Amino acid sequence: MYTRRGDKGETDTGRGERLSKDSLLVELEGTNDELNSFIGLARAKVTWNDMKDDLARVQRDIFTMGEHIIKAGTGRNLTGADTKWLEERVEYYRKEVGPIHLFVIQGGSEEAAYLHVARTVCRRYERMVVSGKELLGIFPDVLSYANRLSSVLFMMALASNKRMSVKEEIWDIRPPSKSQ
């Protein structure tokens, strides 16, 4: 489908505004879509029902975040209960993973690699929400949710590697010894 209305670099928003395609609102809408697409890719790749179900819910929540931003808070919105659910999912996967070593080198299994990509897109989305929270009137629950979502995706990636018997590569933050 095409209308030719965007051929000059502008688009219509869900707020009824005509904006440049490089505006913060349009960037947020696009990154929301990109995040949801990468979550969908990860969901298609993982084989475990718990992760598939969690990612399916997350995709619906991402649509809710997008609606909140597009409609300036007048449509459906996430709540603290949604963020709490993510916190519970972080703990669920953390129990499976065991001790966490920060600075995991992304990758391992294909499943984990897809989840890490989704996590990094989520982090970018979160930074954009911070940039737009005042200007666009974004509720704090959206920022909290995006922050927790990246944590869930990280834990899912680690759990995926564990389930696939793939050992995590850890980046050692200590400086190399003089003898090396």
Q: How far apart are CA 166 and CA 73, in angstroms?
A: 43
Q: How far apart are CA 50 and CA 162, in angstroms?
A: 15
Give me the residue spans of the domains in the chain.
Answer: 20-170
pLDDT digits (tens), the chain, 180 positions = 788 878 888 888 777 888 888 888 889 999 999 999 999 999 999 999 999 999 999 999 999 999 988 887 788 889 999 999 999 999 999 999 998 877 888 899 999 999 999 999 999 999 999 998 888 888 889 999 999 999 999 999 999 999 999 998 888 877 777 765
pLDDT at residue number 26: 86
pLDDT at residue number 165: 96
pTM: 0.89
CATH of domain 20-170: 1.20.1200.10
pLDDT at residue number 65: 93
Other beta carbons less than 10 A from residue 110's beta carbon: 14
Q: How far apart are CA 105 and CA 167, in angstroms?
A: 11
Cβ distance 109 to 166 under 8 Å? Answer: yes
pLDDT at residue number 179: 66
Give the CA radius of gyration of the chain.
Answer: 18
pLDDT at residue number 180: 57
